[in-house]
Chain A
Amino acid sequence: MQVKDIGLTDLHTAFQLQERLVDEIARQDTDETLLLLEHYPVYTMGSSGEMKNLLDPSIPVVLTNRGGDITFHAPGQLVGYPLINLSNRGHDLHRYLRCLEELLIRTVQIFGVDAHRVDGRTGIWTDRGKLGFIGVGVRHWITMHGFSLNVTENLAGFSHINPCGITSCPLTSLVSETGKALTVDEVKSAVLSIFDTVLDEMLPRSNTIRLRGTT
């Protein structure tokens, strides 16, 4: 597993880098990779998105090959693109989504924030609203795209859309939740401190067979 912190990056550059890495991972030229970054302000639409969820049609939107509906990225939001080879980890896309949720839940726990899943609404939520977002693409069983986590309160961009297709979706951030002036870099460190553990725990490589129990 390698980690690349590529800082503030535009969507196109990040996508090209993902495509190149996926090719290399498929050819086994590169290890699985976690990209950590922030995006310049941008709206992206997933494969099942509906344009009606863009409330201001004058805003340009980038179509992507991840799952889900429309979302918004901007500095102050940590974006993570894990490029993981699921063919070595059980070929289980749903479990991978749950793994990303687990990663986000445990990350915000480090800052004392109690987040949870909501059935049928992939992502992580607190009592105040949606804190973490998930949208994934899979090519040759290697994952692309991934998650974003609101760190600062820079959420204005969300007011022009129904995030993830959810009307009047309440949103929150780690800064709102904790009342502390957290930075994206602090949250990156938190993600890195647990990423390998969560991944190997939820999606063990297939050479470590475990008798997973109980009926």
Chain B
Amino acid sequence: MTEGIFIGWKKSPGETVARGDILAEVETDKANMELEAFADGTLLETYAKPGESITVGKVIGIIGNVGETPQKVISGSDLPSAVSQPETVAHSPYEPFVAETAVYGSLPANRQITAAAPAVRKRALEMGIDLGTIRGSGPGGRILLSDLDMTDHPLPPPMKMPGEKANIPEQQGDTPAIAPVGNFTPFSKMRSAIARIVELSWRTIPHVYLSIEADVTEAGEFSRELKDRGLIVTMNDLVLKAVTLALIKFPLLNSSFREGGVMIFPDINLGIAVSLDDGLLVPVLKGCNNLSLRDISVASHDLITRARSGDLSAADMTGGTFTVSNLGMYELSAFSAVILPPQAAILAVAAVRQKIVMKNGVVSPSRVVTLTLSVDHRILDGVYASRFLMELKRLLENPVNLIM
């Protein structure tokens, strides 16, 4: 969606408008959208005409101060409020249609502020363009999306590395250097989704991390014994089963923070972080509380295979209540993971590594793994999380528990 049909004005030039008033109507597809004023003032000028097809980012009218004339407003540095039509960066029907009617209240004359709609600012940020370096072609020097496209190299040249030739021409004039520029690469949809989710998580969930080392020597032997009997059970499957059993005892970790409380999930649906070339997916193994070790093994291998081949449905990736991230194939001694909202915790499983440990006063070669739990500190404290980890360690070190 890059354009809509302008239906008509609900206010006439000269009329006073208050924030929240319906200014105009725009139609797209079969939906009629009422545009609201985002500033108080007087509607000074209207540019869009009923029936006109208008593209995103176009200025459709101006709101300013009572008594100002549009000409004076436009020529002066005291920029008026502008009314722009809905703006969007969406192209498929499943992308958000972001309507941002416009925005700027009257600005003090002594402040140097560039006039541009939010979508223009966002695009400029993505393109690495400093709006201060652009002369806008809209009313009052307002910067339009089309101005960005015409701007090839808006910023001063990047800091030159020794012996390296800058590939961006020298900027004319005395614009101050802002920051070095590189090549901008837009994110894939998957990368964008990951960015959005971890950002939300980091901003809203106070993370606390606790680590424990489990001796999985016996679990490794157990796995080999099962293999001899024709059952392929990986270390990850043992961890998933152990996590399920531990969560049954410590249900606060299988929950979600809600304003003023916590929602504990009745089922245990384990998300399994699966890395892909360009990101990761988290398919969900549902109802683990009702699954045997063999069931978990079969179902998780199926999910992981389908995640790698791109055969997951939306239903396969929703409804998780706790997530396990396993980087066991890399030589990490330990790592920590970001909680996947709205869950309360995530377990990071590092590589199994050889270590000399003391057992009953005897030095013995062992295989150990570090498990790091990230928890939402709003819901629970370190002691509860520690007890969960100790239970998890106990289960993994006595794997016979996992088939009972």
- Chain A residues at the B interface, C-beta cutoff of 8 Å: 46-48, 65-68, 90-98, 122-123, 134-140, 207-215
Q: Is the CB of A212 within 8 A of B193?
A: yes
Interface of chain A: mostly helix, strand, loop or mixed: loop
Residue of A nearest to B316 (CB): A213
Q: Is the CB of A97 within 8 A of B29?
A: yes
Contacts of A68 in B (CB 8 A): 30
Residue of B nearest to A94 (CB): B93
Once bound together, how far apart are the Cα atoms of A111 and B220, in whole Å?
A: 55
Once bound together, how far apart are the Cα atoms of A48 and B25, in whole Å?
A: 10
Q: Is the CB of A94 within 8 A of B7?
A: no
> Residue B54 at the A interface, CB < 8 A?
no
> Residue B106 at the A interface, CB < 8 A?
no
Q: Is the CB of B31 within 8 A of A213?
A: no
Q: Is the CB of B25 within 8 A of A65?
A: yes
Q: Is the CB of B197 within 8 A of A67?
A: no
B97 contact from A65, A94, A209, A210, Cβ within 8 A: A94
Once bound together, how far apart are the Cα atoms of A91 and B119, in whole Å?
A: 15
- Chain B residues at the A interface, C-beta cutoff of 8 Å: 1, 5, 7-8, 20, 22, 25, 27-34, 36, 90, 93-99, 188-190, 193-194, 196-197, 200, 278-279, 281-282, 310, 312, 314, 317-318, 340-342
Residue of B nearest to A50 (CB): B51
Q: Is the CB of A214 within 8 A of B312?
A: yes
Residue of B nearest to A66 (CB): B32
Once bound together, how far apart are the Cα atoms of A206 and B107, in whole Å?
A: 33
Contacts of B317 in A (CB 8 A): 210-213
Once bound together, how far apart are the Cα atoms of A90 and B193, in whole Å?
A: 14
Contacts of A46 in B (CB 8 A): 27, 30, 32
Contacts of B20 in A (CB 8 A): 140
Contacts of B193 in A (CB 8 A): 211-213
Most buried by B among A68, A135, A213: A213
Once bound together, how far apart are the Cα atoms of A208 and B278, in whole Å?
A: 24
What's the minimum C-beta distance from A21 to chain B, rounded to whole angstroms?
16
What's the minimum C-beta distance from B57 to chain A, rounded to whole angstroms?
17
Contact flag A48-B27 (CB < 8 Å), given A92-B95, A208-B342: yes
Contacts of B32 in A (CB 8 A): 46-48, 65-67, 135-138
Q: Is the CB of A215 within 8 A of B278?
A: yes
- Some 19 contacts from A to B, beta carbons below 8 A apart, are A47-B32, A66-B30, A67-B28, A67-B30, A67-B32, A91-B98, A93-B33, A94-B1, A94-B97, A95-B96, A137-B31, A208-B342, A209-B200, A209-B341, A211-B281, A212-B314, A213-B193, A213-B317, A214-B189
Contact flag A91-B34 (CB < 8 Å), given A122-B29, A211-B197, A214-B310: no
Q: Is the CB of A211 within 8 A of B30?
A: no
* 9 A-B pairs with the lowest CB-CB distances in the bound complex, closest first: A122-B30, A67-B32, A136-B31, A67-B30, A93-B97, A92-B96, A94-B93, A47-B32, A67-B31
A138 contact from B31, B96, B310, B312, Cβ within 8 A: B31
Contacts of B342 in A (CB 8 A): 207-209
Residue of A nearest to B278 (CB): A215
Most buried by B among A94, A96, A136, A212: A94
Tally the A-B contacts, defined by beta carbons under 8 Å. 118
Q: Is the CB of B94 within 8 A of A98?
A: yes
Contacts of A91 in B (CB 8 A): 96-99
Once bound together, how far apart are the Cα atoms of A176 and B314, in whole Å?
A: 34
What's the minimum C-beta distance from A25 to chain B, rounded to whole angstroms?
14
Contacts of A209 in B (CB 8 A): 196-197, 200, 341-342
Once bound together, how far apart are the Cα atoms of A96 and B97, in whole Å?
A: 10
Contact flag A94-B29 (CB < 8 Å), given A209-B341, A209-B342, A215-B278: yes
Q: Is the CB of A47 within 8 A of B95?
A: no
Q: Is the CB of A93 within 8 A of B25?
A: no
Contacts of A214 in B (CB 8 A): 189-190, 281, 310, 312
Once bound together, how far apart are the Cα atoms of A68 and B31, in whole Å?
A: 7
**18 new A-B pairs (CB below 8 Å) besides A65-B34, A94-B29, A94-B97?**
A48-B27, A65-B25, A65-B32, A67-B29, A91-B97, A95-B93, A95-B96, A97-B31, A122-B29, A136-B30, A137-B31, A138-B32, A209-B197, A209-B342, A211-B194, A213-B317, A214-B189, A215-B189
What's the minimum C-beta distance from A84 to chain B, rounded to whole angstroms?
12
Once bound together, how far apart are the Cα atoms of A16 and B252, in whole Å?
A: 47
Contacts of A208 in B (CB 8 A): 342
What's the minimum C-beta distance from A96 to chain B, rounded to whole angstroms?
7
Once bound together, how far apart are the Cα atoms of A213 and B271, in whole Å?
A: 13
Contacts of B200 in A (CB 8 A): 209
What's the minimum C-beta distance from A143 to chain B, rounded to whole angstroms?
8
Once bound together, how far apart are the Cα atoms of A172 and B279, in whole Å?
A: 47
Contacts of A122 in B (CB 8 A): 29-30
What's the minimum C-beta distance from B163 to chain A, rounded to whole angstroms?
38
What's the minimum C-beta distance from A204 to chain B, rounded to whole angstroms?
9
What's the minimum C-beta distance from A117 to chain B, rounded to whole angstroms?
10
Once bound together, how far apart are the Cα atoms of A90 and B196, in whole Å?
A: 13
What's the minimum C-beta distance from A51 to chain B, rounded to whole angstroms?
13
